[in-house]
Chains A and B, each alone.
Chain A
């Protein structure tokens, strides 16, 4: 993963600590002119803008990043809880925000989610959920140590679902995220594959994939 841009140079302690612990590479930048100078060859993989010291400066940087020829995304804004109303009408300037005082666990989850969506996150090599293991390196999935014979699309669907436990996806979303739109089957295909995956997970574990009536599917238990 290429480094993240972090502004300003002296970011709040917990922000820096969470990034370090999570293994996210980052480069602190204090001046606009340094953004291009310090830019990694492959481009910044995202930016974290802390607005705790000067809100207007932070918005200015966000706007600059948004209008840059080589756009930087995702953009995560860290803002004081007391300033939440200032975000109104500025939604275009950032992809997500976290409030201060920082909840490190929440920050971590938001980072994961943001970078998962853009596909630029840290490559996670093993997804584990109960007895299910999916090894992204070898493309093999197993339940209680027994390898599953999956087709490519079944594998992709399982991997996608297992990476988002507790979340409900409708068929269209699954189709566009897992298959892409260029598929003959249409959204009905999702049902066909879910049924096959359940059969392969076996009776004991088929409930890992739940049908959410008139919505779609959820992997794993509902998150509280």
Chain B
């Protein structure tokens, strides 16, 4: 069609769109190692050179970007991620890959980490798809007395106070406008808790979409004086916020997880993948659940997993294999239930893919599924079944991760080292903190 090179045509598309749609500012987005979105704005005048050569900036201020010798890095926009912001069409966003000054991919860039993992999958003929269910809470923006829910509604409830539902509806429309399709949205179990499920797409696009969605959810709430929080367990005693994510592998346009000759409909590839995930789960939990608070969610009694097991339909399992709604073989997928929405999606998807592929390449044997509700069993009974648990806190998780050659390989030396160090710091800060729990219990009594 066009004789122009592919790269040239992508760049021209961005430049022309900025010109035609009278875009005044372009936000260059990237992620730090913890998954916090970072961005800087440029004007259309700078755009052409930014697209061609990237923008140089000092990385030392970004979490996980600093190095000993060189602190300058280059942010190079990926034109295929360019989109106009729904709230203000004079502003556009575009995701960037981070490069070193010599043009090589920067080792500290999470997007590059995921690309590397996807390249590995690609070399085996697989493409990797993800569909996350983002849970979060809407709170009163005044949090000086702790989190205050905006409604007392629960699952599917039609709430009297319509503000949260209106916010959610507005958010869904905004996401759709930005080309981020939403599968469902609903009120979740806990008061003021909501869920937005994104429709599956390839894992790199999805990681970008999660970054965008989290910000849009927060922005739309903030515009109405509401705080949207992805904190994994903000309220004691009620359900925390997870990000159950459905994953599938495709090969030659066929779902590689499906095999009609198998009585469960699962292919060997799927079984090895699940086995890989279960085997390596403890090592990657510090990545899929990265905060001290993440582990307050991973406790018995809620919709969060604790035990390392899998099942067709058992909500206490770590890996669930949902029964496809139809006989549609294309929708065979697995659901990883540990993830929480405060994750760095690039690193988490890379780690999950890495664990699954290790299972495929090493032809790991899959243990039988566990149908029992494990939460109803005693610890002894669970032990008797030979079922292991996920790490109980960030400290345990980081120790597991530190010993993991898989985590080191998937993340790469730079990210691995920095991440482990950062999480150890986080833990030691937490360890020395004297909590309200202790004061309430001990101050007078002891």
Contacts and interface: CB of A to CB of B under 8 A. Distances in A.
Interface of A: 116, 119-120, 137-140, 147, 149-155, 159-160, 163, 171-172, 180, 184-189, 192, 195-196, 199-200
Contacts of A159: 1
Contacts of B202: 184-186, 188-189, 192
Contact of A186 (B81, B115, B250): B250
B127 A186 contact: yes
Nearest to B204: A184
Interface in B109-129: 115, 118, 122, 126-129
A185 B127 contact: yes
A120 B6 CA distance: 15
Given A139-B16, A186-B250, 7 more contacts: A150-B179, A151-B179, A152-B80, A184-B118, A184-B204, A187-B253, A188-B330
B171 to A, nearest CB: 16
A66 B1 CA distance: 23
A147 B21 contact: yes
Contacts of B82: 151-152
Contact of A120 (B3, B17, B21): B3
Contacts of A140: 16-17, 20-21
B442 to A, nearest CB: 53
Query: Which of A152, A163, A187, A195 is the most central at the interface, judged by chain B CB atoms within 10 Å of its CB?
Result: A152
Given A151-B83, A189-B202, A184 B122 contact: yes
Contacts of A152: 10, 13-14, 79-80, 82
B250 A188 contact: yes
Nearest to B114: A184
Interface in B406-442: none
Contacts of A185: 127, 129, 201-202, 205
Contact of B20 (A138, A154, A163, A188): A138
B91 interface: no
Nearest to B253: A187
20 contacts: A119-B2, A139-B17, A149-B84, A149-B177, A150-B179, A153-B80, A154-B179, A155-B13, A163-B1, A180-B6, A185-B127, A185-B129, A185-B202, A185-B205, A186-B202, A186-B251, A188-B250, A188-B253, A189-B202, A196-B179
B398 to A, nearest CB: 30
A160 B83 contact: no
A112 B278 CA distance: 56
Contacts of B251: 186
B210 interface: no
Query: Which of A137, A185, A186, A192 is the most central at the interface, judged by chain B CB atoms within 10 Å of its CB?
Result: A186
Interface residues of B, number: 43
Contacts of A151: 80-83, 179
Given A119-B2, A155-B13, A188 B127 contact: yes
B1 A160 contact: yes
A189 B83 contact: no
Given A160-B1, A184-B204, A186-B127, A149 B179 contact: yes
B182 to A, nearest CB: 10
A180 to B, nearest CB: 7
Nearest to B10: A152
A125 to B, nearest CB: 12
Given A119-B2, A152-B10, A192 B200 contact: yes
B13 A184 contact: no
B203 interface: yes
B83 to A, nearest CB: 6
A187 B127 CA distance: 9
B8 to A, nearest CB: 12
Query: Which of B1, B3, B21, B199 is the most central at the interface, judged by chain A CB atoms within 10 Å of its CB?
Result: B1
B203 A184 contact: yes
B129 A139 contact: no
Nearest to B14: A152
B3 A188 contact: no
B17 A119 contact: no
B118 A119 contact: no
Contacts of A139: 12-13, 16-17, 20
B93 to A, nearest CB: 11
Given A119-B1, A120-B3, A188 B129 contact: yes
Query: Which of A116, A147, A185 is the most central at the interface, judged by chain B CB atoms within 10 Å of its CB?
Result: A185
Contacts of A150: 179
B147 to A, nearest CB: 35
